[in-house]
Amino acid sequence: MALQNTSEIKNGLCIVYNNDIYKIIEFLHVKPGKGPAFIRTKLKSLTVGKVVDNTFPSSAKIDVVRVETRNYQYLYGDDEGFNFMNTEDFEQIYLMKQLIENADLMKEGDICVIVFHADEERPLTAELPSFVNLEISYTEPGIKGNTATNSTKPATTSTGAEIRVPLFINEGDTVRIDTKNRAYVERVKL
């Protein structure tokens, strides 16, 4: 761990804050007309997933955590977590559900990036690919010609995830989903 100045803050940086490891989701340097400059941040705990807002004075020192990322293939899950296999040395690891955001969008065989605390060799979080293609297992029947409006309806994917899709999507269709905000992107032709 290394102390750095707050001028080094950037999105994705992992720091120690309140005896926990947080990832900086977003930040804003603020220079008010009166008083010293400060940095407004949004931090996400890598251990419990909680998001907090925090303001650092511009002169503050932050404790940066060195992290490494490795590609792992999602094998299978159970009630408490998920099993992954390293794509290089085939080593398997188990991650608890709370370490993975939008885990219900993962399907077996997906390649995820697992972030490790470099000094302790401890997994901190897993990041899904930016987009996943999933089959719709249940939704109300589509209505032909309903393509011009922005109306959506609930749908369930083959992994059990609940998402919103346009009215023209039917059961059996494959759709591309943005894993950051769970948004429908497009229908995929296979």
The CATH number assigned to the domain holding 11 equals: 2.30.30.30
Q: What is the pLDDT, as a whole number, of residue 72?
A: 96
Distances, alpha carbon 146 to alpha carbons 139, 141, 189, 190, in Å: 15, 12, 18, 22
- The 3-state DSSP class for residue 63 equals strand
- Identify whether residues 77 and 25 lie together within a single domain: no
Lookup: tokens for 15: 């720091």
- pLDDT band at residue 112, thresholds of 50, 70 and 90? very high
- Identify whether residues 119 and 72 lie together within a single domain: yes
- Identify whether residues 116 and 137 lie together within a single domain: no
Which of 102, 127, 152 is a domain's end point?
A: 127
Q: What is the pTM of this model?
A: 0.78
- Identify whether residues 140 and 104 lie together within a single domain: no
Give residue 51's domain range. 2-64
Give pLDDT tens digits for 38-90: 999 999 888 777 889 999 998 889 999 988 999 999 999 988 899 999 999 99
- The CATH number given to whatever domain includes residue 101 is 2.40.50.140
DSSP state of 144: T
- Identify whether residues 149 and 166 lie together within a single domain: yes
Give pLDDT tens digits for 66-79: 889 999 999 999 88
